[in-house]
Chains A and B, each alone.
Chain A
Amino acid sequence: MEQSWKQAKAVFAGALGPPLFWLVLFFLVPLAIVWAYSFGHNDGLTEIAITGTFKNYARAIEPLYLKIFLKSAWVAAITTGLCLVIGFPVALAITFASEKTKTWLLLLIMLPFWTNLLIRTYALIAVLRTEGYVNMGLEWLWKGGGTVAALLGLQPFGDFQPLELLHNNFAVILGLIYVHLPFMVLPLYSALDRLDKSLLEASLDLGAGHLQTLFKVVVPLALPGIASGVLITFIPALGAYLTPDLLGGPDSQMIANVIERQFKRANDWPFGAAMSFLLMYMTFIAIALQAVLSRKTPEAK
């Protein structure tokens, strides 16, 4: 059994003291200050007066910023949905692979995950930009096609128009999926791996098809795992900064980009603080929703 802290006060204080001190001073205090700032306003150039005003929050829900909040949630939701669709078969394949293949498949998913985020985003830029690999490849095919057409005596194709793949919403969502796919696959895999495989066999034996088994047996049983995969993907996608910043255009900013601008360029810290706390509340609401949902599932069974 767990020991009461009174039985070994010295050990307890020694083990808990330093981490608690660190957590409070270098994490909770900074957050608390940002929270306090969100109720203040700029007073002169560098001073911030904390006056208990709700003006910053009122400004954050004006249509201009509300639209960005909604858009960020929408982009994160699309990303999460697509990650689920792409990742579910992968997790299923890993679950039913042999012991050795399993290790390799997991490594296959994990290795990009361990590679630096910036490098992965940068690799996508190199693929998508106007002189990127996709457009270069297409241009090559286009020219080849044009030559063939000319040989056949058809109309020449004209100049190649590179596709606009970068600096738009498509690039942001693609980038977010690229970065967050492992976040989805790993929880899904750990949920599917815990399933009783004989239930699947029973379902197949009793005449259900594979898709029917999937939707009527696997998905309901794996629902808590799916919910946690969705949460783990949704939260970082919602707060993503780098991907929309580097891959997105002027109309694909997300909350994090607006917050960054308030702090680094616009120098409106109180407003930025209010926005970052709104983002945090959204995160907490998502977590609470997931907790409620996963508590409900065992009863529903």
Chain B
Amino acid sequence: MAKKSAPGPLEYLRRWQMQAWLAAVAIFLYAPLIALMAFSFNDSRRNIVWKGFTLKYYEKAFNNAGLIEAFGNSLTIAAISTVVSVALGAMVALALWRFRFPGKTALNGALALPIVVPEICMGVAMLVFFAKVMPWPQGMVWPLNLGAIIIAHVSFSFPFVAVVVRARMTSFNREMEEAARDLGAGEWRTIKDVILPHMAPSLVAGALLAFTLSLDDFVITFFTAGPDTVTFPVKVYSMVRFSVTPEVNAASTILIVLTVILTAVALKLQGNSAATAGHGGEKS
């Protein structure tokens, strides 16, 4: 192909106006994040002038017990709520896909609610619930004191998992299930050997979504958390309220890098499982 040929009518990407626009959007989206990461290595507290490379803010962040604890809390909450959300989401998606039952429309609507209700409304609902109806016992040992936050996170994550799994199940050929039955497989066996393998890519995608949603959440956690249960976003929030510090830059950089790695791993995993478990429709 000749490189100099004029762009074709629909080759919008080869027009300079479009490229300039994309470049501007990319700068808008990435410049703040890259600046933040770069200046976490700058040996100067309040200057954009480069004063030399340093890791001291990382050292400070790692020695900040509160920050580390909050980070550990966040990861634990995300891990547990992901497992529960994937299980609940897959179950409800399976029930909605397979059965015809009275109240199905109502259930569909109720399931969409946690997705559309503004975060602040859900936050206050959780605050009221755990303050008045089901007080979460205070002063419990470590993973248990996170129970209220985990419950709140599952409530807003599992409908997202259900949506992803349902989308995947529409490509399932019901005759496969009938064939399995005919060949003598029991109920559980059919689910385990026929339906679950087809579901697998969407379970990975749903898990990734639930994990990110949980790790990302500030507002609902802010309302649910007791004084002694701090997550990473809540901790960063309280640090940011005072001032911008290189320590927060360092901690944020670690989380950004972690997000990028996690995304890469998930994309790779999802690609593989889609290739092994799909039924010829991987591309769709």
Is A70 an interface position by the 8 A CB rule?
no
Best-buried of B159, B219, B248 by chain A (most CB within 10 Å)? B219
Mask: chain A, 186-206; 1 = CB below 8 Å from B; 0 = not: 000000000001001100100
User: Would you list which residues of chain A between 242 and 267 have a CB under 8 Å from chain B?
Assistant: 242, 246, 255-256, 259-260, 263-264
Is B118 a contact partner of A287 (Cβ separation < 8 A)? no
Is A133 an interface position by the 8 A CB rule?
yes
Docked pose: A122 CA to B248 CA in angstroms: 9
Is B10 a contact partner of A197 (Cβ separation < 8 A)? yes
Looking at chain A's contact residues, is the secondary structure mostly helix, strand, loop, or mixed? helix
Query: Closest residue to A86 on the B side, CB-wise?
Result: B25
Beyond A19-B158, A31-B125, A280-B117, whether A115 also contacts B259 by CB under 8 A is: yes
Beyond A19-B89, A120-B32, A181-B29, whether A239 also contacts B119 by CB under 8 A is: yes
Is A114 an interface position by the 8 A CB rule?
yes
Is A4 a contact partner of B33 (Cβ separation < 8 A)? no
Is A118 a contact partner of B233 (Cβ separation < 8 A)? yes
> A133 — which chain B residues lie within 8 A by C-beta?
35, 48
User: Would you list which residues of chain A between 231 and 249 have a CB under 8 Å from chain B?
Assistant: 235-236, 238-239, 241-242, 246
Interface locus among B55-63, B107-115, B196-204, B274-282? B107-115
Is A30 a contact partner of B29 (Cβ separation < 8 A)? no
Docked pose: A93 CA to B47 CA in angstroms: 38
The smallest C-beta distance from B149 to any residue of chain A, in angstroms, reads 12
Q: Count A-B pairs with CB separation below 8 Å.
A: 246
Mask: chain A, 115-136; 1 = CB below 8 Å from B; 0 = not: 1111110111111010101001
User: Would you list which residues of chain B between 155 and 194 have a CB under 8 Å from chain A?
Assistant: 155, 158-159, 162, 174, 187
User: Would you list which residues of chain A between 1 and 23 have a CB under 8 Å from chain B?
Assistant: 1-5, 8, 10-12, 14-16, 18-20, 22-23
User: Would you list which residues of chain B between 202 and 248 have a CB under 8 Å from chain A?
Assistant: 212, 215-216, 218-219, 223, 232-233, 236-237, 240-241, 244, 248
Residues of A within 8 A of B (CB): 1-5, 8, 10-12, 14-16, 18-20, 22-23, 26-31, 33-34, 37, 86, 89-90, 92-93, 96-98, 101, 105, 108-112, 114-120, 122-127, 129, 131, 133, 136-137, 140, 178, 181, 197, 200-201, 204, 235-236, 238-239, 241-242, 246, 255-256, 259-260, 263-264, 269, 272-273, 276-277, 279-280, 283-284, 287
